Amino acid sequence: MKPYLLILLFLLSTKVFAQENAIITGKTIDSKTSLPIEYVGVILSSKIDSNKKVGVVTNKAGEFLFKDISKGDYTLKISAMGYNPILKTITFSGKNIDLGVLKMKEDAIALKDVSVAGKYATATVKKDTVEFNADAYKTQPNAAVEDLLKKLPGVTIDKDGSILVQGQKVTRLTVDGKDFFGTDPKTATKNLPADVIAKVQLIDAKTLEAKATGIDDGQREKVLNLTIKEDKKNGWFGNANLSGGTTDRYSGYLSANHFTKKMQFAILGMSNNVSNASFQYEDLNSFTSGNIGNLFAPPGGGGFSHSGGLNFSNSWGAKDKLTLSSSYFTYFSKGLGNRFSNVQDINQDDVLRTDEVSNRNSDNQAHRFNFKVEYHPDSLTDLTFRSNAILNYTTNINNRNFNSAFDLTGKINEGSQLLDQRNSTPAFFGELSATRRLKKGSIIIGLNGSQNTFNSNWLNKSLINNYRAGVVDVTDLNQQAEQENKSQNYSVAVNYIRPIVDKKLSGNVAYIRNEGKVDAQQLTLSYNPLNNTYDAVV
């Protein structure tokens, strides 16, 4: 692709919204004092699809607002710590709905439970951040961060563990401002203990470009930051469990963490032989860019699975001049399965008997590396490099032997089949960005590249005999095949951004070059008995 010059002048750096649809509004107050209640969680759930929901939090005036809602029937749930929840059924026809003033009554039982925590401020708002005091929300002993999040107003957890804040998915999680096991929020929420958390911060984060230039482009990313209690930043904390059963069955888990004011070190380990994938099946998508169905199957039969990871982050110098974050996660599994069947089909004249024996052997390996370094040589310059690598290897071997015969008339068929497939899918990504703030404007230089590869080799063998009227019809298949798909993308961009009117109107001159390459090949060969090789192209 040829390079091109893109010049955009007088761009408004404020968020541009589509035409607004009708809205749903309301206000929450205390039934006794008539004072507004802030930070109340309000969830709107579709009656048709319970997974379709959106949430908001009331402001200081106790007001809430939903917009861009599709027509339909909904359930509205309003909940706040120390109050009885309010449930309402709403039919939204596309016209504005004002629910008016909603009076919340105190929950005497709940108030007893939070009497100790009442000395803590539950939440505060700081510009683009809503900050919750973790000690104000009671959790069970040994609870994980995920259990704490479920209690926060406006926060919901999907069945797959994804975090939604006011209906918007959290895409990144940090611990004390540093990446924790890459960009997957669920690794932290499912493994860090809730009782070590001091603050939960829900941030509408600006883009890196907006932060660097000071010009708001209106784009936001939902980021969840967890701050660790000061008394936990000395020594180790975590949890472990081990359970066993009959026939040598076991399941074990370990989470160990060592934090200081600037350094973070974490170890995760899981192992079992009870047909459990060690962590949620959906989490493996982070290894496969969403193609898990083509690569992995949870271990079954007599198999096992092991998984574990390391996370290390540290910063050096005044104001964290140099920050490094890195992590490694791996997954191994082996699945063994055997199946025996004997089927009898009895009709008026004869009995058909079908016997079948099949077995499956699968091996899966996955490795994920994340690395990020940030360097600020002075107050005007930011340098960031980040990269990740994903390596997947799978082997699936399936054998099947069968035969069918009538008691009186004899055999119908018999045969054997073998399918041996081995896949590897390495993927790499790297990005380097540099920002320099000038007296008038900023220069941003960005370089990034990625490569994704899918390699597959398989052997397909089958020998089937069909018996008809004393004649044997033989089908003999013996083939090898290999497939390789590779895609490469590279880009370089240079931007000069200059504010024109109070950082709301800006000019942007950009040079962008993108290059991409895709290569796909597949070859299938049949077995040649004359030279005992696979050389006949199919």
Query: What pLDDT digit, counting tens, does each position of 154-177 carry?
Result: 788 877 778 887 777 888 889 998
Q: How buried is residue 308: exposed, middle or buried, by Cβ count under 10 Å (0-12/13-18/19+)?
A: middle
Q: Name the band, by pLDDT with cuts 50, 70 and 90, for residue 297.
A: very low
What pLDDT score does 475 carry?
92
Decide if pLDDT at 282 tops 80.
no
Residue that wins the pLDDT comparison between 206 and 268: 268
What pLDDT score does 259 carry?
92
Decide if pLDDT at 477 tops 70.
yes
What pLDDT score does 20 carry?
44
Per the prediction, the chain carries an average pLDDT of: 82
Q: Which two tokens stand for residue 291?
A: 């193609």
Q: Name the band, by pLDDT with cuts 50, 70 and 90, for residue 501.
A: low
Work out the average pLDDT over 13-41. 73
528: left (phi over 0), alpha (psi -120 to 50) or beta: beta
Q: Name the band, by pLDDT with cuts 50, 70 and 90, for residue 503.
A: low
- How far is residue 343 from each of residues 71, 399, 404, 409, measured CA to CA in Å? 53, 19, 9, 17
Q: Which two tokens stand for residue 428?
A: 């790499």
Of 404, 411, 416, 402, which Cα lies nearest the Cα of 471? 411
Residue that wins the pLDDT comparison between 122 and 455: 455
Q: Cα 201–202–208 angle (5° rounding)?
A: 105
Is-contact 486 451, C-beta < 8 A?
A: yes
Q: How buried is residue 340: exposed, middle or buried, by Cβ count under 10 Å (0-12/13-18/19+)?
A: exposed
In percent, how much of the chain has pLDDT > 90? Answer: 41
Q: How far apart are CA 263 and CA 101, in angstroms?
A: 48
What pLDDT score does 373 carry?
96
Work out the average pLDDT over 283-295. 42
Q: Name the band, by pLDDT with cuts 50, 70 and 90, for residue 95.
A: confident
Q: Name the band, by pLDDT with cuts 50, 70 and 90, for residue 113.
A: very low
If you average pLDDT over each of 70-74, 288-292, 453-457, which comes out highest? 453-457
What pLDDT score does 4 carry?
39
What pLDDT score does 302 carry?
64
If you average pLDDT over each of 9-23, 25-39, 46-60, 196-210, which comes out highest? 25-39
Q: Name the band, by pLDDT with cuts 50, 70 and 90, for residue 18.
A: very low
Work out the average pLDDT over 192-213. 82
Decide if pLDDT at 82 tops 80.
no
β-bridge pairing 197-206 and 129-133: antiparallel
79: left (phi over 0), alpha (psi -120 to 50) or beta: beta
Which range is least confidently modeled, 17-21, 245-249, 375-379, 430-434?
17-21
Residue that wins the pLDDT comparison between 53 and 243: 243
Looking at the DSSP assignment, which residues form a beta bridge with residue 290? Answer: none
Q: Name the band, by pLDDT with cuts 50, 70 and 90, for residue 119.
A: very low
Q: Which domains does the chain have, with CATH numbers?
A: 15-115 (2.60.40.10), 304-537 (no CATH)
pLDDT in tens, 343-363: 988 877 889 999 999 999 999
In percent, how much of the chain has pLDDT > 70? Answer: 83
Is-contact 153 131, C-beta < 8 A?
A: no
Which range is least confidently modeled, 52-61, 170-179, 448-457?
52-61
What pLDDT score does 321 carry?
93
Decide if pLDDT at 303 tops 80.
no
Decide if pLDDT at 405 tops 80.
yes
Decide if pLDDT at 296 tops 70.
no
Decide if pLDDT at 116 tops 70.
no
Decide if pLDDT at 34 tops 70.
yes
On whether the pTM is more than 0.75, the answer is no
Q: Which two tokens stand for residue 56?
A: 């908001």
Q: Name the band, by pLDDT with cuts 50, 70 and 90, for residue 21.
A: low
Decide if pLDDT at 105 tops 80.
yes
Q: What stretch of H or E contains 113? A: helix 108-113
Please spell the DSSP secondary structure of 327-390, one letter per residue.
Answer: EEEEEEEEEEEEEEEEEEEE-SS-EEEEEEEEEEEEEEEEEEEEEEEEEEEETTEEEEEEEEEE
Work out the average pLDDT over 482-492. 93
Decide if pLDDT at 381 tops 90.
yes
Residue that wins the pLDDT comparison between 217 and 43: 43
